[in-house]
Every structure is written in C-alpha cells, then in structure tokens.
Amino acid sequence: MLLAQAKVFYYDFVEIKPWIYELVISSLGLAFVGTKNSNIEASILGFYPNHILIQDSKKLAPYVQQLEEYFAGKRRSFTVPIDYSSFGTPFQNKVVKMIENIPYGTTISYRDLAASINSSTSVRSVAHAVALNPSLIFIPSHRVVLAPDRGGSYRMGEKEKQRLINLEEGYLNAAN
C-alpha cells in the first residue's frame, strides 16, 4: 500500500571539485541538488519523504551537463525543467521563483527580495523560504545575501555560497 503511494525520483552524481553533487529529478523536472554523503536518502528524503529513489544517469544527463557547463563558465542560466510541485507553500514557491530572476553574477539582499515580493512581507519569511530551496545552483539562492559584505547562511555552507558568488563574478569580469 505504501509503495503505491510513493513517488519515484531519479538521481545521479556528478563530481565538480571540491564536491560530488547529487541531482534528483521527478517526472516534472529537477527536484533536488545537494552534495553526496554517506547516505543519499538522508538529505534527499529530508526534503521529500516517502519517495522511491532510482539511480539513472541517462535521465539525469541533461542536468549534469548544464551543471558542468555552469561551473566551466559556459552557462549563465539553466533551461532544464524544475519541479515545484512537491516543494513548500505557495509563498515559498513564489520566493523561489523570484530567485530565478536574479541576474547571473549579481546579488540581492533578503530585505530587497522581500520588498520586491510585497512591502509587507517579512524578511524572516523570505529568508526561511530561501533556506528551503531544494534545487541549489539551478535556483540560485546563493545570490541572496544578508548585505553586500555578508553572505549569510547556505545549505552547503557560507564558504560555498561565497565561492559560487566569486565564480560568477570572475566569469563576468573575464568576459568584459
């Protein structure tokens, strides 16, 4: 009975130093990006309990390719579909979709993001929604910072957040 109610997700890994990333898709698109750990189910199923996971490198190939292109400086936006259906509340979905509009190589504060959604939206609510982003990098929550000189927390750590910001700025500067 439980098996019939479980949703199937497909996953694969890609090594991009210093991490081995885990990417997970549903039938609708990308559902999760994280780092490989000793127990893949621990992190993925923390976001999506009661899901069946099947490793399938063929299904994940377009996602892996676009992530590799991003880190090589050949891609500034992603074109693969993202699955929002299993993620969060309507408000959290709205915040995450707004994050996708932050231009490559730029950052915005949590306060400015909250103001752009609705002047009465609390910064804390926005920060919570940003923190729950399951599809890191593809939904660039690393571009949302506390202040210009303070990155703030990130599921993969503050150093990784700053590394991603620096990576984008570096490729932008190299192109100019």
pLDDT at 1 over 50: no
Q: Which two tokens stand for residue 104?
A: 């490559």
What is the CATH code of the structural domain delimited by 90-175? 1.10.10.10
The whole-angstrom separation of Cα 62 and Cα 114 is 32
Report the C-alpha gap between 127 and 95 in whole angstroms: 9
d(CA 12, CA 149) in angstroms, rounded, equals 35
Q: Is 25 exposed, middle or buried (0-12, 13-18, 19+ CB in 10 A)?
A: buried
**Helix, coil or strand: residue 92:** helix
The reported pLDDT for the residue numbered 31 is 93
Long-range contacts of 43-48 (CB under 8 A, 24+ apart): 44/9, 44/11, 47/87, 47/134, 48/7, 48/9, 48/24, 48/86, 48/134
From residue 124, alpha-carbon distances to 65, 91, 155, 166 in Å are 35, 13, 16, 25
User: pTM for the whole thing?
Assistant: 0.89
pLDDT in tens, 92-103: 989 998 999 999
For the domain covering 2-71, report its CATH number.
Answer: 3.30.160
Residue 175 pLDDT grade (very low, low, confident, very high; cuts 50, 70, 90): confident
Location of each CATH 3.30.160 domain in the chain: 2-71
Identify the pLDDT of residue 4: 53
Has residue 137 got a pLDDT over 50? yes
User: Which pLDDT belongs to residue 170?
Assistant: 92
Please choose, from the candidates 49, 52, 66, 70, the residue with its C-alpha nearest in 3D space to the C-alpha of residue 11.
Answer: 52
Q: Supply the pLDDT for residue 142.
A: 96
In the chain, CATH 1.10.10.10 sits at 90-175
